[in-house]
Structure 1
């Protein structure tokens, strides 16, 4: 299944304020880049405001229906990259067989080294959100989040956590790493919600 198409709007309609278009893909992160020799011990935990916690191996995750999504991404540092093609698991498909509790209003994404980011549940569950293992037909490199990263393209790209290890459904909006360090709690690039004072 493929969501999205190559859009033909003028760049001005697609490029958020004060962003510059790049053909490359800059590497930005905090902390170390994890390099996995094997994915045998890798798992993805889904927990919090759910009827039952779940742990998925990488192979189990790959057994879910795979989708392709084309989108634009926008980094809070000022670059944007158009027409990215991702492959992975639809967030909606992943949690279809899970029962979310009524108080599940937010999602906290947990990555390696204790890194987290937060977003409202309705943003995480959008049709365009996915858990990606590939970009442009190739597996993600370690620098870009191998083996799995979130992709939530309508928010600044720090919300699309690399090296994903956990998805926590939460009742309250808890700031993640960058949010605790001055970044915006939501991060809409078209409203320039870069910092907490924006």
Structure 2
């Protein structure tokens, strides 16, 4: 393994060429995109909802990164297309006490992030992976991508972004996953 390659793979991870599909519950199938929206709410001056067609008109850009799953696989050299978090943040004004984010997805699935991690330049709301629209199994129509944390923090089927004053666990965190999930620190589970 070259030094550069080694530097890109966190401890305990194995590189895969595939893109494993892991999730809890059923895979949502969207038949009418007029019914899909993304809600930004919580500690904001004014709650907003962005419909699918308006979301797809937002400026999109390409992001390249490596991703790391808590189940020990890593996939290198991903190319995502989507909306940068900063573009979404231009739509809302946060209240000063906002310090955390709860991502809400279909099936009642949630995951938490510190606001500073959500706002990183590398965080995005993806609609494509390696040149193709996301498949339903990988989060179509919109998936959050937070590449510096374990991939469960990159919520599939994103429907809401809630801004909070304090940290609280999402679905997986309530079920034993680490509250933060740094792959370089192997913050996989927290069964204390």
State the match for 1:106 in structure 2.
100
- Matching residue within 46, 51, 67 for 1:52: 46
Give me the CA root mean square deviation: 1.2
State the match for 2:115 in structure 1.
121
Q: Secondary structure at the match of 1:70?
A: strand
Q: How many Å apart are 1:149 and its aligned residue? A: 0.5
CA distance in 1, matches of 2:89, 2:56: 14
CA distance in 1, matches of 2:35, 2:93: 26
State the match for 1:13 in structure 2.
7
Q: How does 1:169-188 map to 2 (within 5 A)?
A: 169-188=163-182
Equivalent pairs, count: 191
Q: How many Å apart are 1:166 and its aligned residue? A: 0.4
Whether 1:43 aligns to 2:11 is no
Q: Secondary structure at the match of 1:40?
A: helix
Structure 1 residue ranges, 4+ long, deviating more than 3 angstroms after superposition:
none
**CA deviation map 1:12-69 (0-9, x unaligned):** 1000001000000000000100011121101111000000000010111112110100
CA distance in 2, matches of 1:188, 1:157: 10
State the match for 2:60 in structure 1.
66
Gaps of 5+ in 1: 1-7
Question: In 2 relative to 1, CA 9–47 (structure 1 residues): closer, same or farther, beyond 3 Å?
Answer: farther
Gaps of 5+ in 2: none
Whether 1:32 aligns to 2:26 is yes
Q: Secondary structure at the match of 1:33?
A: coil
CA distance in 1, matches of 2:87, 2:50: 14
- Matching residue within 86, 89, 102 for 2:83: 89
CA distance in 2, matches of 1:83, 1:22: 11
Question: In 2 relative to 1, CA 9–96 (structure 1 residues): closer, same or farther, beyond 3 Å?
Answer: farther
Whether 1:139 aligns to 2:133 is yes
